[in-house]
């Protein structure tokens, strides 16, 4: 048995994990990763981002993304495409060009249609996995088409896309993704929208306006980079409010970090927090699945990003399960 097997028994599509190419040579790590009873879905943590896939204008490199997509297929796991349009991890040719609206629209359309088109396949869902064996790789069943469009105060983030095109860059990207792969669920993904508040309200307003305009949008990714002891108490109410708009949600990047050093009390609180987040998705009918932002502290992005914080994952840096693992099981 394993986490994904439990999640599927309880009616969800998957419980999965992010992974990254450099980690795949670590056999102690891949022994846990390459098991679809444990993880039914993979998200590439870096190798499908814009800097990795289109480092020079019009020159595309899919080698590393393909490695993850191949692995998902070999393992019988779903795949999440991550991501198309984001202010971060852009190649310098995107950030250093002085764009006009026409030029940037063309650049977004070329990027999204080429990347999403490259990974396009046949409809991919857990019950259709056998037919995927005919393809060279697993096709994403969902794409994070737009990543992190909002500031924490609910205003749109100022970046090359918004500053040149306003909100229309979101529509441009979603339309290009739909045209490139009509079978993929198209998501907007963000953090600090786990509970109710101005940022979640802004996301809901965006979803409503996209739907009113007939723009393709299928889901909202709830990143869930959380802090031990600070899981929002309004998470279920918030997810219900989002899905009431006619989109699905997924927990896309779950980790729950603590201020180091780790203590037994913090590990117990972390266990309880994982249980809360997982059980919240389980309780929301249109919360379709859950993805850990990697499963081990050995490869977590947290310590290098949040100074003094870490130990955010359910497996420790020696690949031993922590109390958080049992918290996930309890939440499923």
- Footprint on this chain of ligand XIL (rule: CB under 6 A): 45-46, 147, 223, 253, 301
| R_g of the chain computed on alpha carbons | 19
**Cβ-based nearer residue to ligand XIL, 272 or 299:** 299
Least spacing, CB of residue 21 vs ligand XIL, in Å: 11
Cis amide linkage into residue 21, ω under 30° from 0 = no
Q: Note the helical H segments in 34-88.
A: 50-53, 63-75
**Closest Cα partner for 331 from 271, 268, 279, 277?**
279
* 8 A C-beta contact, residue 150 and residue 198: no
Of these residues, 64, 148, 194, 248, which one is catalytic? 148
Least spacing, CB of residue 253 vs ligand XIL, in Å: 6
**Cβ-based nearer residue to ligand XIL, 9 or 89:** 89
**Cβ-based nearer residue to ligand XIL, 77 or 147:** 147
**Closest Cα partner for 53 from 17, 95, 74, 82?**
82
Least spacing, CB of residue 235 vs ligand XIL, in Å: 18
Buried b vs exposed e over 197-226: b needs ≥16 C-beta within 10 Å?
bebbebbbebbeebeeeebbbbbbbbbbbb
Of these residues, 64, 194, 248, 253, which one is catalytic? 253
> How many helical (H) and strand (E) elements, i.e. helices and strands, does the chain have?
14, 10
Least spacing, CB of residue 203 vs ligand XIL, in Å: 14
Residue 317 annotated to the active site: no
Least spacing, CB of residue 223 vs ligand XIL, in Å: 6
**Cβ-based nearer residue to ligand XIL, 17 or 243:** 17
If one counts every other C-beta atom within 10 angstroms of the C-beta of residue 307, the result is 8
Residue 56 annotated to the active site: no
**Cβ-based nearer residue to ligand XIL, 187 or 332:** 187
* 8 A C-beta contact, residue 147 and residue 189: yes
Catalytic residues: 148, 253
């Amino acid at each position: 048995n394993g986490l994904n097997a439990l999640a599927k028994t309880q009616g969800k599509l998957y419980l999965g994990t992010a992974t990254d190419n450099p980690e795949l040579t670590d056999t102690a790590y891949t022994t846990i990763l390459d098991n679809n009873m444990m993880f039914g879905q993979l998200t590439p943590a870096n190798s499908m981002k814009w800097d990795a896939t289109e480092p020079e204008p019009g020159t595309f490199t899919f080698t590393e993304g393909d490695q993850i997509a191949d692995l998902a297929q070999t393992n019988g796991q779903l795949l999440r495409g991550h991501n198309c349009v984001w202010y971060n991890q852009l190649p310098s040719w995107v950030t250093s060009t002085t764009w006009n609206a026409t030029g940037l629209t063309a650049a977004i359309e070329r990027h999204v249609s080429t990347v999403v088109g490259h990974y396009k396949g046949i409809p991919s869902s857990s019950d259709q996995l056998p037919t995927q064996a005919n393809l060279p790789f697993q096709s994403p069943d969902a794409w994070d088409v737009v990543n992190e469009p909002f500031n924490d105060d609910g205003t749109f983030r100022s970046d090359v896309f918004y500053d040149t095109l306003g909100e229309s860059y979101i529509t441009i990207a979603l339309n290009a993704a739909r045209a490139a792969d009509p079978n993929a669920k198209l998501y907007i993904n963000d953090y600090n929208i786990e509970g109710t508040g101005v940022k979640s309200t802004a996301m809901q307003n965006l979803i409503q306006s996209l739907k009113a305009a007939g723009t393709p949008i299928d889901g909202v990714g709830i990143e869930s980079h959380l802090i031990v002891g600070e899981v929002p108490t309004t998470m279920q109410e918030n997810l219900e409010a989002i899905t009431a708009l006619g989109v699905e949600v997924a927990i896309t990047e779950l980790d729950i970090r603590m201020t180091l050093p780790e203590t037994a009390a913090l590990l117990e609180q972390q266990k309880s927090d994982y249980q809360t987040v997982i059980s919240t998705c389980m309780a929301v009918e249109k919360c379709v699945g859950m993805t850990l932002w990697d499963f081990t502290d050995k490869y977590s992005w947290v310590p290098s990003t949040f100074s003094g914080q870490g130990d955010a994952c359910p497996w420790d840096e020696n690949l031993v399960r922590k109390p958080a693992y049992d918290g996930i099981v309890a939440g499923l």
